[in-house]
């Protein structure tokens, strides 16, 4: 059983969201996978397994400190990178098909980046008054800066507060605690010269109910991109920045294509490969 440490959505060395990828852990129970995830302390840890769907190249189980996720973005790109680095060869050149709890997710090699096809939203529409109040409490965003409050769930149950500016996003002061299962994100357009088009931050509750800010979040970026492109707030492509308040410097490339698909991409780097794990 081996462990890779991977940096996802990185802009420079050690600037993205770290991910642990376990090879050869098929004998582990869900409880053991969760325990290892909590011990490593990353936002997520994934476990690469043989596919059960003949259309897939590999299967992945994705865990975060509060349980298992059907889909997550940075684990998707990081797992694909680790699978390729370990000698994986996709059935179709240039197209990797990942099997996860949400079904099949397509990943493509896009120059020096990897990109995944954003899965469809499983919940959209405006937040209720109670949901908006809780999203404001957890994120610490200024209510006066909120332009829109909507669901952008695609596996994780993301709630999006669209704020007036990137300055409003960076000024938010999140709460210390929230119920397990909380997934709140905020996004705002960047000022000219910021080096990105949108600034994002995300907050989730770990297994102890503590609010954690994620360095860079692929699933939330996917949900935001689906919403922005569908509502005409973005077109073609844009770059999102995330992680500045955590010490990261994440860079996410979002694009909409003529067939209606939305792609979320970024650079992925191997930090440590094939470290041996006991058990």
On the 0-12 / 13-18 / 19+ scale of CB atoms within 10 A, 189 is buried
Residue 1 contacts residue 276 (beta carbons within 8 Å): yes
On the 0-12 / 13-18 / 19+ scale of CB atoms within 10 A, 12 is exposed
H helices of the chain, where?
A: 30-40, 73-85, 129-139, 166-171, 218-230
Is 131 designated active site? no
**Rg of the chain (C-alpha set):** 18
Expressed in percent and rounded to 5, the helix, strand and coil fractions of the chain are 20, 40, 40
Q: How far apart are CA 148 and CA 137, in angstroms?
A: 16
Could you say which of 44, 134, 213, 251 is catalytic? 44
Q: Give residue 122's region: left, alpha or beta (phi > 0; psi -120 to 50).
A: alpha
Three-state SS for 199-235 is EEEEEEECCCCEEEEECCCHHHHHHHHHHHHHCCCCC
Q: How far apart are CA 123 and CA 56, in angstroms?
A: 26
* 100 strand-pairing partners: 103
Residue 60 contacts residue 68 (beta carbons within 8 Å): no
CB atoms within 10 A of CB 61: 23
Known catalytic residues are 44
């Amino acid at each position: 059983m081996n462990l890779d440490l991977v940096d996802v959505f990185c802009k420079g060395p050690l600037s993205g969201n770290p991910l642990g990828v376990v090879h050869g852990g098929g004998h582990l129970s869900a409880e053991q996978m969760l325990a290892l995830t909590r011990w490593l302390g990353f936002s997520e840890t994934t476990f690469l397994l043989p596919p059960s769907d003949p259309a897939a190249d590999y299967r992945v189980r994705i865990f975060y400190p509060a349980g298992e996720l059907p889909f997550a973005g940075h684990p998707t790109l990081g797992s694909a990178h680790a699978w390729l680095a370990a000698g994986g060869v996709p059935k179709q050149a240039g197209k990797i098909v990942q099997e996860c709890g949400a079904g099949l997710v397509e990943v493509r090699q896009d120059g020096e980046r990897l990109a995944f096809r954003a899965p469809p939203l499983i919940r959209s529409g405006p937040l209720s008054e109670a949901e908006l109040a809780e999203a404001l409490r957890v994120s610490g965003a200024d209510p006066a800066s909120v332009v829109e409050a909507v669901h952008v769930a695609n596996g994780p149950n993301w709630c999006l507060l669209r704020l007036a500016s990137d300055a409003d996003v960076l000024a938010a002061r999140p709460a210390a605690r929230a119920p397990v299962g909380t997934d709140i994100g905020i996004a705002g357009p960047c000022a000219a010269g910021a080096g990105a088009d949108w600034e994002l931050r995300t907050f989730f509750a770990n297994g102890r109910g503590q609010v954690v800010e994620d360095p860079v979040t692929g699933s939330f970026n996917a949900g935001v991109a689906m919403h922005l492109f569908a509502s005409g707030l973005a077109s073609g492509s844009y770059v999102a920045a995330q992680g500045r308040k955590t010490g990261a410097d994440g860079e996410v490339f979002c694009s909409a294509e003529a067939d209606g698909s939305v792609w979320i991409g970024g650079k992925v780097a191997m930090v440590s490969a094939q470290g041996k794990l006991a058990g």
